[in-house]
Amino acid sequence: MFQKNRVSRNAISSDNKQAWPALLDAGVSLGYQRNIVQRQISRDPAKGTPDGKQNMDRIRIVGGNELNGEITISGAKNAALPLMISSLLTAEPLVLENVPRLADVKQLERILENHGVDIAVNGRRPDEDDMGGQRIIFTANKIVDTCAPYELVSTMRASFWVIGPLLAREHEARVSLPGGCAIGTRPVDFYLEGLKQLGAEIDIEDGYVVAKAPNGGLIGNRVTFPKVSVGATHTVMMAATLAKGTTIIENAAQEPEVGNLARCLVAMGAKIDGIDTSTLTIQGVTELHGATHEVLPDRIETGTYAMAVAMTGGDVLLKGGNVKNLQAAVDVLKATGVDISQEKTGIRVRRNGNGLQPVDVETNPFPGFPTDLQAQYMALMTRSTGTANIRETIFENRFMHVAELARFGADIKVDGQLATVTGVPELRGAQVMATDLRASVSLVIAGLAANGETIVNRIYHLDRGFERLEEKLSRCGATIERISG
Ligand code: UD1
């Protein structure tokens, strides 16, 4: 069933087949859309992202305002993506609640539709929070294509993870090697080694990973990752749910998004023990069934807005935020002098004009300080009253924001994986350019506190992972707007 370099859309009617490439480019989805039709949001964040046609919108910020009010935290991108991919494991509908409106979600919808997944998005009811998430139904009744082509996969690394479910259910997959944020080499050796341990035969051909599960499917085994990997844990866990026998994953990632996926798989009939620990034991079953599952709130978005408030001062309730999933970052922010408390409906963050203490940070797998908050924290430390050391231990090339933060007048020295940030009395607004998803938002945070005007160029990375960022911040008093590219 491999269909090399072909973007098939067998899920659409033959009448539409002439028209779909143009519509796809325009960000329109053509899967069966029963019930539906709220695929439009005020601004299409996916505009132009496929096939390298990137959204050239900019963000303009005039810094200096305090943030006050409420921000609704969206569903986590890093949970929504693997959950969506898990729909490939069953012929029955998987209903996901609280799916964020993001370019990466739309892009993954295109990839799943290419495999034959029927996607239905429910409209918003009049009484619903206008910042609430989407309810999307994914039905992979029949996998029509086990190839994930370069054109679709190259813009988003997480789409590589389809290899696990495709191998498990169809016993074959041909998946383009991934792209995504340029934050280091980001190999896939752990994924491939893990799948080989489950009996897969794997070759690399023309930039594609070609995987087969001979002898009627994958076979459970012990998989020990040499280093914690979120993506490899997701992929091998999904594959193991349909393998024959028992799989034990050692040194598994314990990120809350992995637990969120594991709980969804259990709701679909998988047998998984050790959820939220570093050892997952998965007893394979012959098939999975449909389920309804909620995407957990985005801890990285929560931490990002907490840092924005820490930066500008003010008092904001991050609705839906949960300290439990963000303890390391909360501890650090408290040590800098920020007031953070868990309330019934979310996390309240306050800072009232006092100076920020410098606090050293090292990124680590969960429950350590998340690498996805390192850039935002660096922006914050540019305004501390001293010098803070920030060590990045997960990715070897994740300091690209340093040069851009320097445009605001920040004082940062980099030595290998260590950045030394000395606080400066003021940041000055600047023209800056986003280089990856989390780096982009660190520039927004700096702009919110800088004197004068900041223009953040090339914000398509932001749209991949932050839902309606400028709307959420302007509702709290920030002067921030999107300028169409
Ligand atoms: C996921 C997150 C990303 C986050 C990262 C670390 C999603 C969609 N992305 O990315 O936002 O920054 O976790 O928390 O959830 N590695 C290998 N070989 C492999 C796989 C990984 O050497 O086969 C290395 C990576 O280069 C990196 C480290 O392992 O140094 C961790 O990467 P990993 O956890 O796999 O990151 P992602 O799953 O890609």
pTM over 0.85: yes
Tokens (6 digits) for 443: 């520039």
Give me ligand 1 centre to Cα 174, in Å.
21
Q: Is the Cβ atom of 187 under 6 angstroms away from ligand 1?
A: yes
Domains of the chain with CATH codes? 14-30+74-294 (3.65.10.10), 58-73+297-483 (3.65.10.10)
Q: Is the Cβ atom of 81 under 6 angstroms away from ligand 1?
A: yes
Neighbours of 413 (CB within 10 A): 11
d(CA 397, CA 11) in angstroms, rounded, equals: 40
Q: Is the Cβ atom of 366 under 6 angstroms away from ligand 1?
A: no
CB 336 within 8 A of CB 382: no
What would the DSSP string read from start to end of 39-62? ---SS-TTTT-GGG-----EEEEE
Give me the pLDDT at residue 396, please: 84
Per annotation, catalytic residue among 147, 181, 264, 476: 181
Give me ligand 1 centre to Cα 253, in Å.
10
CB 387 within 8 A of CB 378: no
Residue whose CA is closest, atom 34 of ligand 1? 229
pLDDT above 80 for 238: yes
Give me ligand 1 centre to Cα 478, in Å.
33
The DSSP 8-state label assigned to residue 159 in this structure reads G
Please give the C-alpha separations between residue 64 and each of 193, 202, 379, in angstroms, as whole numbers. Answer: 50, 54, 15
* Residue 181 annotated as catalytic: yes
Distance in angstroms between the alpha carbons of the first and the last residue of the chain: 40
Give me the pLDDT at residue 460, please: 87
pLDDT above 80 for 55: no
> 73-82, 97-106, 175-184, 440-449: which range is least confident on average?
175-184
Give me the pLDDT at residue 152, please: 87
pLDDT above 90 for 7: no
Ligand 1 atom showing the smallest separation from residue 227 Cα: 29
Ligand 1 atom showing the smallest separation from residue 78 Cα: 15
Give me ligand 1 centre to Cα 476, in Å.
33
Amino acid at site 151? E
pLDDT above 60 for 51: no
Give me the pLDDT at residue 182, please: 53
pLDDT above 80 for 186: no
Please give the C-alpha separations between residue 266 and each of 245, 368, 442, in angstroms, as whole numbers. Answer: 16, 26, 36
Q: Which of 394, 398, 399 to mutate to test the pocket of ligand 1 (most atoms within 8 A of CB)?
A: 394
Neighbours of 107 (CB within 10 A): 22
Residue whose CA is closest, atom 29 of ligand 1? 229
Give which of 169, 132, 164, 167 is closest to 38, Cα–Cα.
132
Query: pLDDT of 381-422, one tens digit each?
Result: 999 999 999 999 999 889 999 999 999 999 999 999 999 999
Q: Is the Cβ atom of 232 under 6 angstroms away from ligand 1?
A: yes
Give me ligand 1 centre to Cα 461, in Å.
17
Mean pLDDT for the chain? 88
Query: pLDDT of 65-102, one tens digit each?
Result: 999 999 999 999 999 999 999 999 999 999 999 999 99
Ligand 1 atom showing the smallest separation from residue 186 Cα: 26
Range 266-273 average pLDDT: 98
Q: Which residues pair with 72 in a beta bridge?
A: 319
Token match 């997960």: residue? 394
Selected residue with higher pLDDT from 43 and 208:
208
